[in-house]
Amino acid sequence: MHIVVPVKLVPDLVEELVIDPSGTTLDPDTLRLQLNEFDGHAIEQAILLKERGGGQVTVMAPDVEGVDDVLYTAAAKGADRLIKLCGNFGQSVNNHAMACAVANLIKPLQPDLVLTGVQSHSDLDGSMGPLLAAYLGFPYVGYIAGVTLSDGRAVVRKEYPGGLVAEMEVVLPAVLGIQAADQPPRYVAFTRIRQAMKTASIEEQTVEGLDVSGGPTVSRMYKPEAAARATMIEGKPDEVASRLVELFRELGVL
Amino acid sequence: MATTTVSQSSTTFSQSFYASLHEIAGGEKVRTCLQCGTCNGVCPYGYLMDYPPGKMVAALRAQRFERVTEADTVWMCVSCYACSEVCPVRIPLTAGLMTRAKEELLLAGNIPSELQVALENTQRYGNPLGESPRKRADWAKGVKPRVPIMSEERRPVDVLWFVGDYGSYHPRVQPVSRALANVLNALHVDFGILGAEEVSDGDSQRLAGERGLFEMLAAKNERALSQYEFKEIITGDPHAYNAFKNEYPKLGIVYPVRHYTEFLAERLDALKSLFKGEVNARVTYHDPCYLGRANDVFEAPRQLLSAIPGVELVEMPHNRTTSLCCGGGGGGMWMDGFHWEKAHTRLSEWRVREAMQVGADILAVACPYEAPRFEDATKVVPGASRLIVKDIAELLAEAMGD
Ligand code: SF4
Ligand code: SF4
C-alpha cells in the first residue's frame, strides 16, 4: 500500500493579513504560512492506515517558507518519504495549475491511495482533490471522516450536511478528500521532530510547466469594509446593559 | 549435568525509567521511599490519581510502571510541590518522578487534547495562547513613559523585565503588566523588555512533559538576551522565575533573576514615599507554588502588602509552605476541561473559599496564572462575588494613585 499525501501551506490567520500595495495579493513579507488544517488530517489518516495495515506514506509539499518544518513533522509522525516541490510558487499559482503539475509527479509513484485535505481557505478555483483525481484518472470522494482498507478497496465514511453519513466503497487507486482523520492529528514531542531533522531526508523535485493561465485572476483584494449599520453603545456597563435590553425589546427579540 | 544459561532478560521499562530518575538531582533518593503515603495524602488531586507519587514508586518497585503510563490521571498533577515539601526523605517527586512520568506519557502520545493545543501553539508561536508573536509587546501601548523595547533601544539597561506569556497576552493580566510598568516608571527604574524577541520561558511546558520544547525555547530566549547588556532580570511570572533561577543554568544560561516582589521589597522606602491614597481592605495573600514552595520567597510579597496604607493583612489557613495550588501549574493552565471532567471541582474554588473564610475583601496574588483563575472561581463559589482578586502590582499602583 503506497499512500501519497500532497499538502499545501496556507496563510496563518493568527498573524494580521496585510494586503500588498499592488492591491491584488497578500504582502509576502508579513505573510506566515502554515499547514492547511485539513491536510494535517490527511497526513494523520495516512499514518493511521499505515499503522493498521502496513505500507508506505509519501508526503509532498511546495517549497515555500516553513515547508521543511511541515515535512519533518510528518516524518516524526511516521511518514517514510518527504518530497519538496521546487518551482516558482507565487501567490498567483492556482489549484488547476498546481494539480496538473503535481499529478505528473504523483503518476510515476504509482500510489494506491492519494489523500488530500478536503479544502483549504486559500482555494480560489476549487479544491485540490477533485482536480488531482481528474488529472490522474482516479475516482474521487470528498468530505471523508474515516477510511478502512480491504482487498483493493477503501470503505469510506462521507459526511453530508445535516449530520448524515454515508458509507461508500471505492476501488483503488483513488483520491480522497479528507475532512477529518479517524483520530485527531497526534502530538509529536519536539525531540522527535528534532530527531527527524537529523535522520530524515527531504528529496527535491522540480515542478515543470506550471501553466497559470486559465485560472481566476484577482482584480481587487480588500478587507471587509465597515458599513454604517453597526450601533456603538457607549457608557458605563450598567447603562450599556440597559440600552442593550431596550434595543432587544425594540427589535422584538425579547 | 548440562549447565543451563539463565537468559539475560533485557532491561524492562520500569528499570530504564528507574535509571533515568538518577539523572535528576537527588533522584537516587527514590530508593529510600518509606511508603508512608504522606505525599498521596497531601496531593490536591491525589484521591483521583491512579498513581499518586507514593503509589507510583510502589509500581516502579513492582516492575509495573507501564500501568502508570497507560492511565491518564498522571495529567492531574499540577506540579505544585506539595508532595515534595512533605516527603520525609526529600525525594524530588515533582521535578523528578511526576515530570519524568509525564514525559513518558507525552512520548507515548497519551496526552489530553487541550494540552496538545497549548504545546502546538508554543511550538509554532512561542506562546501557549496561540497569539501572534509580533504582538507580544502590544500590552504596553499607552503606558507613559513608554516601555523601552531592547531591540529599539540599543543601549544597556539596569533591569531586563521578562514579561512572560500571560503578562503579555492575557486580557486579565495585561493590566497587571501595565500596573507594574507604572510602578517601575514611578521609581525611575532603568528597564527594558524583549518585546517580540521574547518567547515563553517554557517551564510549565517542561513540567507538562515537553522537555525538548523547553530547551528550544530556552535557546531562543538566550539568543535574544545575549545581544543586550543589563544587570539583572526581573519577572512577574514565578514560572519564568523558576526557569531562569533553577533550570536555564543547567543549560548554561546564567543570569541573576528576581521576582518583581523581591526587587520592589528592596525599595520599600522609595515606594512608601510614593503612596498617595489608602487601600482600606482586609487583604489575604496567596503564595504561588513557584514563588513560595519551589523557591522560598515568602516574605517579600507580604512586606509589600503590609506597606500599603490601609491594608490589613490576614493569613489563610494554608499559607507559605502549605499554600494551595491554584490549579494552573504543570500544564494545568491548559487542562481545565480535562481536570473538570475528572474532578468536577476546581482547585481555585477551594482557595477562594478559604479567602472568604478569613473575611478577606481582596485576594492578593503574585503570579499571572492566578488573577484569571481565582476571578473565575469567585463567579461560581456562592457568596464569593464580592471578593476582589488583584495582583500585588495592581494594589501598589492603586495606592500610588494610578
Ligand atoms: S506536585 Fe502537587 S499535584 Fe503533582 S503529585 Fe505532587 S502534590 Fe500532587
Ligand atoms: S512521602 Fe516520600 S517517603 Fe512517603 S510515600 Fe511519598 S515518596 Fe515515599
| Nearest residue to B367 (alpha-carbon basis) of B327, B402, B309, B319 | B327
Last residue of a domain, one of B265, B299, B331: B265
Q: Does the beta carbon of A186 lie under 8 angstroms from any beta carbon of chain B?
A: yes
B128 and B55: one domain? no
Q: From atom 7 of ligand 2, which residue's Cα is the shortest distance away?
A: B54
DSSP secondary structure string for all residues of B232-282:
EEEES-HHHHHIIIIIGGGGT----EEEHHHHHHTTHHHHHHH--S---EE
Indicate the SS3 state at residue A239: helix
Q: Does the beta carbon of B100 lie under 8 angstroms from any beta carbon of chain A?
A: no
The secondary structure element, H or E, covering residue B393 is helix B392-399
B76 and B96: one domain? yes
Torsion of CA A212, A218, A223, A229, to 10 degrees: -140
Is the pLDDT confidence value at B8 over 60? Answer: no
The answer to whether residue B8 is domain-embedded is no
Is residue B9 very low, low, confident or very high in pLDDT (cuts 50, 70, 90)? low
Which atom in ligand 2 lies closest to the alpha carbon of residue B83? 1
**Chain segment B240-284, per-residue pLDDT in tens:** 999 999 999 999 999 999 999 999 999 999 999 999 989 999 999
Nearest residue of B to residue A13 by CA position? B132
Give the closest of B111, B124, B211 to A187, CB-based.
B111
B118 and B257: one domain? yes
CB contact under 8 A, A187 and B130: no
**Chain segment B99-149, per-residue pLDDT in tens:** 999 999 999 999 999 999 999 999 999 999 999 999 999 999 999 999 999
Which residue range is the domain that position B245 belongs to?
A: 114-265
Do the beta carbons of residue B192 and residue B157 sit within 8 Å? yes
Do the beta carbons of residue B109 and residue B152 sit within 8 Å? no
CB contact under 8 A, B132 and A15: yes
d(CA B92, CA B26): 6
Q: From atom 4 of ligand 1, which residue's Cα is the shortest distance away?
A: B77
d(CA B349, CA B326): 8
CB contact under 8 A, A189 and B212: yes
Q: Is B93 in the pocket of ligand 1 (CB under 6 A)?
A: yes
d(CA B151, CA A52): 51
pLDDT of residue B3: 43
CB contact under 8 A, B211 and A34: no
B313 and B333: one domain? yes
Measured between beta carbons, the chain A residues lying within 8 angstroms of B128 are: none
The answer to whether residue B285 is domain-embedded is yes
Nearest residue of A to residue B214 by CA position? A190
Is residue A212 very low, low, confident or very high in pLDDT (cuts 50, 70, 90)? confident
Is the pLDDT confidence value at A217 over 90? Answer: no
Indicate the CATH number for domain A2-206: 3.40.50.620
Which residue in the block uniquely carries the three cell numbers 488531586? B45
Nearest residue of B to residue A14 by CA position? B132
Nearest residue of B to residue A186 by CA position? B109
B128 and B164: one domain? yes
Question: For the residues B66-74, what does the mean pLDDT come to?
Answer: 94
Q: How far is CA B143 from CA A2, B131, B205, in A?
A: 58, 21, 30
Is the pLDDT confidence value at B5 over 60? Answer: no
State the angle between helix axes of B113-125 and B211-225 in degrees (0 to 180), rounded to the nearest 10.
30
B132, three cell numbers? 501572534
Give the closest of A16, A184, A191 to B212, CB-based.
A191
B182 and B50: one domain? no
Q: For position B344, which CATH number holds?
A: 3.40.50
Is the pLDDT confidence value at A226 over 90? Answer: no
pLDDT of residue B169: 98
A137, three cell numbers? 484518472
Residues β-bridged to residue A150: A153
CB contact under 8 A, B107 and A189: yes
Q: Give the ligand at the shortest distance from the Cα of B81.
A: 1
d(CA B100, CA B11): 18
Provide the residue count of chain A: 254
Q: How far is CA A162 from CA A145, A159, A176, in A?
A: 15, 9, 21
The angle subtended at Cα A181 by Cα A177 and Cα A182, nearest 5°, is 130
Cβ pairs bridging A and B (under 8 Å): 35
Domain count, chain B: 3
Give the rounded percent of residues in chain B with a pLDDT score beyond 70: 98
Query: Which residues line ligand 2 at a C-beta cut-off of 6 Å?
Result: B 33-39, 53-54, 57, 87-89, 91, 93
Nearest residue of A to residue B105 by CA position? A189
d(CA B38, CA B36): 6
Kind of pairing, strands A56-62 and A2-6? parallel
The answer to whether residue B3 is domain-embedded is no
Strand order in the sheet with B257-259: B191-193, B157-162, B230-235, B257-259
Is residue A79 very low, low, confident or very high in pLDDT (cuts 50, 70, 90)? very high
The answer to whether residue B40 is domain-embedded is yes
How high is the mean pLDDT of chain B? 96
Is the pLDDT confidence value at B367 over 50? Answer: yes
pLDDT of residue A232: 85
Measured between beta carbons, the chain B residues lying within 8 angstroms of A77 are: none
Is residue A187 very low, low, confident or very high in pLDDT (cuts 50, 70, 90)? very high
B336 and B283: one domain? yes
| Nearest residue to B32 (alpha-carbon basis) of B104, B103, B93 | B93
CB contact under 8 A, B210 and A190: yes
Measured between beta carbons, the chain B residues lying within 8 angstroms of A15 are: 132, 134
Q: From atom 4 of ligand 2, which residue's Cα is the shortest distance away?
A: B36
* Distant-in-sequence, close-in-space partners of A229: CB < 8 Å, separation ≥ 6: none
Is the pLDDT confidence value at A91 over 90? Answer: no
| Nearest residue to B183 (alpha-carbon basis) of B236, B225, B135, B229 | B236
A200, three cell numbers? 530524515
Predicted structure pTM score: 0.93
Q: Does the beta carbon of A13 lie under 8 angstroms from any beta carbon of chain B?
A: no
Last residue of a domain, one of B265, B284, B302: B265
Whether this model's ipTM surpasses 0.95 comes out as no
Which residue in the block uniquely carries the three cell numbers 513608554? B146
| DSSP label at residue B288 | P
CB contact under 8 A, A187 and B119: yes
B233 and B288: one domain? no
Give the closest of A187, A190, A193 to B109, CB-based.
A187
B370 and B300: one domain? yes
The secondary structure element, H or E, covering residue A94 is none
Q: From atom 1 of ligand 2, which residue's Cα is the shortest distance away?
A: B87
Question: For the residues A162-184, what does the mean pLDDT come to?
Answer: 96
Is residue A92 very low, low, confident or very high in pLDDT (cuts 50, 70, 90)? low
Question: For the residues A60-81, what does the mean pLDDT come to?
Answer: 96
d(CA B9, CA B25): 29
**Chain segment B143-167, per-residue pLDDT in tens:** 999 999 999 999 999 999 999 999 9
d(CA B63, CA A199): 33
Give the gap in angstroms from C-alpha B153 to the nearest C-alpha of chain A: 23
Which residue in the block uniquely carries the three cell numbers 498546481? A98
Do the beta carbons of residue A39 and residue A120 sit within 8 Å? yes
pLDDT of residue B186: 97
Q: Does the beta carbon of A29 lie under 8 angstroms from any beta carbon of chain B?
A: no
A195, three cell numbers? 530527531
| DSSP label at residue B147 | P
Out of A22-26, B226-230, B312-316, B346-350, pick the least confident. Answer: A22-26
B38 and B120: one domain? no
Do the beta carbons of residue B102 and residue B75 sit within 8 Å? yes
Amino acid at B159: V
d(CA B71, CA B79): 18
**Chain segment B227-242, per-residue pLDDT in tens:** 999 999 999 999 999 9
Is the pLDDT confidence value at B402 over 80? Answer: no
B161 and B243: one domain? yes
Last residue of a domain, one of B88, B107, B126: B107
Give the closest of B109, B125, B216 to A190, CB-based.
B216
B286 and B254: one domain? no
CB atoms near residue B331 (< 10 Å): 28
Write the secondary structure of A169-229 as one string of H (helix), E (strand) and C (coil).
EEECCEEEEECCCCCCCCCCCHHHHHHHHHHCCEEEEECCCCCCCCCCCCCCCCCCCCCCC
CB contact under 8 A, B134 and A187: no
**Chain segment B36-55, per-residue pLDDT in tens:** 999 999 999 999 999 999 99
